[in-house]
């Protein structure tokens, strides 16, 4: 099985660590370098082009199945989650899976006046009750690649009138995302979306937008984008753009190219490619006597094998250790030969 990335990628090692940080396509590097060179030379147009931010927003909207008017841009998941956490009433209950990623939990925790409750991922839907205001969880778990039972959680939330917040940082880019099915989604762009760090997306229904206050609104949140540079903004954007953070233009010039590449390739094709490699790896691990976390995720975790990560790095294989697990993450630039390479090193 060959790479789907073609000439866009040229890793110098066996890179299976997209769950930590995705590789940048050549076109993305070129776009960032061009803007950086222009800025160093004295670019007359300022820090970057708003059109690049718009193009990235539109690409993500298409990739996630929502209208661009429901997408806000930013620089990190935790800032988006902090915006959402600030909107909840004191005493509201937020339900998380046990072991959820810290950026999804901590903005709610620091409020100090919310009720936080946890349940095993496999029982998350059962734990939703009439007292639950929000269910916040990752569609794919960071530490071990398990995929949440999305349909069950959605049905339980609907039945009890709870809102949903899905972190798609470990899934968007390889697992088809239907953002329209959720009240809110947050996604870091620097993993499977192949964007430079400093790119993130928040999607929300119109109903959810009505409950949020754009607490970090600045110049870019105005309906008339360049019409209110001084003094208070008289009219905030009527779309989700009013929740934008000021964009990091270097990152968004790159994001425009990365997301275009994913659109050209197709998420269904990437999903088939990534999960096929992961199945090959799981089968090989089983033959070696290891017990990987079961499932059909592009992320493969092997409990108790995290201590092998430094040795693999010495052999030119980049994976990660999370919660004691060896974690390998497969994406469009990986190949079957790389799977076999890792298995060969682990068998030694």
Cα distances (Å, whole numbers) of residue 192 to 65, 204, 243, 297: 17, 21, 24, 13
Residue written as token pair 């890793």: 11
Neighbouring CB atoms inside 10 A of 207's CB total: 9
**Is pLDDT of 348 > 90?**
no
Cα distances (Å, whole numbers) of residue 285 to 113, 141, 281, 322, 326: 46, 20, 6, 18, 12
pLDDT of residue 5: 87
CA R_g for the chain: 21
Mean pLDDT, residues 221-231? 87
Which pairing describes strands 299-302 and 325-329: parallel, antiparallel, or unpaired? antiparallel
Burial class (CB in 10 A: 0-12, 13-18, 19+), 60: buried
For the whole model, what pTM was predicted? 0.96
Q: Tell me how far the alpha carbon of residue 297 is from its chain's centroid.
A: 15
Burial 110-142 (b: 16+ CB within 10 A, else e): ebeebeeeebebeebbebbeeebbbbbbbbbbb
CA gap 226, 183 in Å, rounded: 30
pLDDT of residue 242: 96
- pLDDT tens digits, 298-347: 999 999 999 999 999 999 999 999 999 999 999 999 999 999 999 999 99
pLDDT of residue 134: 98
**Is pLDDT of 248 > 90?**
yes
pLDDT of residue 225: 87
Burial class (CB in 10 A: 0-12, 13-18, 19+), 227: exposed
pLDDT of residue 1: 80
């Amino acid at each position: 099985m060959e790479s789907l990335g073609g000439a866009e990628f040229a890793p110098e090692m066996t890179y299976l660590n997209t769950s930590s940080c995705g590789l940048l396509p050549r076109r993305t590097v070129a776009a960032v370098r061009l803007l950086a060179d222009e800025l160093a030379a004295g670019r007359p147009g300022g820090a970057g082009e708003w059109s690049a931010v718009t193009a990235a927003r539109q690409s993500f909207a298409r990739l996630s199945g929502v209208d661009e008017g429901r997408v806000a841009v930013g620089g990190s998941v935790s800032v988006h989650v902090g915006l959402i956490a600030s909107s909840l009433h004191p005493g509201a209950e937020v339900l998380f899976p046990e072991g959820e990623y810290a950026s999804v939990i901590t903005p709610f925790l620091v409020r100090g006046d919310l009720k936080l409750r946890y349940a095993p991922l496999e029982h998350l839907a059962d734990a939703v009750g009439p007292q639950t205001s929000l269910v916040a969880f990752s569609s794919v778990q960071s530490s071990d690649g398990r995929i949440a039972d999305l349909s069950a959680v959605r049905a339980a939330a609907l039945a009890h009138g709870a809102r949903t917040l899905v972190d798609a940082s470990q899934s968007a880019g390889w697992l088809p995302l239907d953002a329209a099915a959720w009240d809110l989604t947050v996604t870091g762009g620097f993993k499977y979306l192949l964007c430079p760090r400093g790119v993130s997306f928040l999607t929300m229904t119109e109903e959810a937008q009505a409950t949020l206050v754009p607490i970090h609104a600045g110049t870019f949140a105005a309906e008339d984008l360049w019409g209110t540079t001084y003094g208070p903004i008289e009219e905030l954007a009527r779309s989700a753009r009013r929740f934008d953070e000021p964009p990091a233009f270097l990152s968004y010039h790159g994001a425009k190219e990365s997301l275009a590449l994913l659109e050209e390739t197709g998420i269904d094709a990437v999903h088939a490619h990534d999960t096929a490699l992961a199945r090959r790896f799981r089968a090989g691990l089983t033959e070696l006597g290891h017990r990987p976390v079961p499932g059909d995720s592009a992320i493969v975790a092997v409990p108790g094998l995290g201590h092998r990560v430094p040795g693999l790095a010495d052999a030119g294989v980049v994976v990660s250790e999370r919660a004691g697990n060896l974690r390998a993450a497969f994406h469009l630039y990986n190949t079957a030969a790389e799977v076999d390479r890792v298995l060969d090193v682990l068998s030694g």
